Amino acid sequence: MPRAQSTSATGAGTERRRSGAESSRKMLHLLLAFNERQHTRSAAELAQALDMPLSSVYRYLSVLRDTGMIEDVAPGEYRLTWLFVGLARAARAAGDTLESIARPVLDSVAAAGGETALLVKRVGWSAMCIDRVESPHPVRLQFDPGQPMTLHRGSAARVLLASMPAAERRGYLESVTDLAPAEREQIESDVDTVARTGWVESFGEVDEGIWGASALIRRQGEPLAAIGVAGPLFRLQQADRTRVIALLVSGAAEISTALEKGEPPTL
């Protein structure tokens, strides 16, 4: 008879798998730290941005360089290679109907609300802006297309976090070491708010002085993305914010309905 595996051996195997998964996740976060504005980054910058030991960053960069994903541009500075152009073309060729369907609504919300409109999806344990329409009065925001952000700050991220399955949401929150008790209470409150109204708002959570509101987009009843608006609080009085929220709730419903039909909404 085969000998039963000891509990300690099983535990060690599970721990190794967890460690491997965590390392893979960190390496992917390192790749996602590059974007259009920060296309060239030093190892020290990456270590600070990702809160990683410099030795770990160099180790991950070495693996990525060996696989052709990263290249040196100067001593200690790195950039993505042209390999990602092919990956971007593959993503575009796959044709995400969400972006094409949502774009007319984003345009309409930005024009009617007078502020920047965003389309945000959850990618693993990050929120990522996948489309953005600037307001007539552009304002600097951290939600740049393709830039991963945390799931617990900002209205769009919190809408997506609140709509996650409870076990997955708990797992994410347990991984956030700097979450203040007040923030945790707000997130738990968001779960009920999103279930009841489908939207949340935020005040200065990602960018100082910026108000944001976002509504949940669903496909066949399942959470898919968030449509949001962000703008300076000094330009948005209570009546303005109420009007923008109504635009978002209506826009999210239009996109959700259009996704069911597979065609852009009639505006």
80 and 120 both lie in a single domain: no
Give the domain-ending residue among 29, 58, 84: 84
235 and 110 both lie in a single domain: yes
Domain assignment present for residue 191? The answer is: yes
Domain assignment present for residue 267? The answer is: no
- 117/227 Cα distance (integer angstroms): 7
62 and 136 both lie in a single domain: no
Backbone angles phi, psi at 195, to 5 degrees: -65, -35
Determine the pLDDT at residue 228. Answer: 96
- 107/31 Cα distance (integer angstroms): 30
- 210/27 Cα distance (integer angstroms): 31
Determine the pLDDT at residue 199. Answer: 95
165 and 256 both lie in a single domain: yes
pTM across the whole model: 0.66
236 and 138 both lie in a single domain: yes
- 245/247 Cα distance (integer angstroms): 5
Give the domain-ending residue among 37, 52, 84: 84
42 and 78 both lie in a single domain: yes
30 and 75 both lie in a single domain: yes
78 and 100 both lie in a single domain: no
CATH number of the domain to which 217 belongs: 3.30.450.40
Contact 50, 33 (CB under 8 A): yes
Give the domain-ending residue among 60, 84, 108: 84
CATH number of the domain to which 73 belongs: 1.10.10.10
Low-confidence ranges of the chain (pLDDT < 50): 1-3, 6-7
Domain assignment present for residue 225? The answer is: yes
The secondary structure element, H or E, covering residue 221 is: none
Pairing of strands 199-203, 148-149: unpaired
Domains: count for the chain: 2
Domain assignment present for residue 246? The answer is: yes
DSSP 206: S
Buried b / exposed e over 204-217, threshold 16 CB at 10 Å, is ebbbeebbbbbbbb
36 and 168 both lie in a single domain: no
Range of the domain at 11: 7-84
110 and 221 both lie in a single domain: yes
252 and 222 both lie in a single domain: yes
- Integer CA distances (angstroms), 243 to 28, 112, 115, 205, in order: 39, 9, 12, 21
The residues that bridge with 41 in the sheet, in sequence order, are 78
Contact 224, 98 (CB under 8 A): yes
Backbone angles phi, psi at 134, to 5 degrees: -75, 150
- Name residue 105's amino acid: V
244 and 124 both lie in a single domain: yes
Query: Does residue 262 sit in helix, strand or coil?
Result: coil
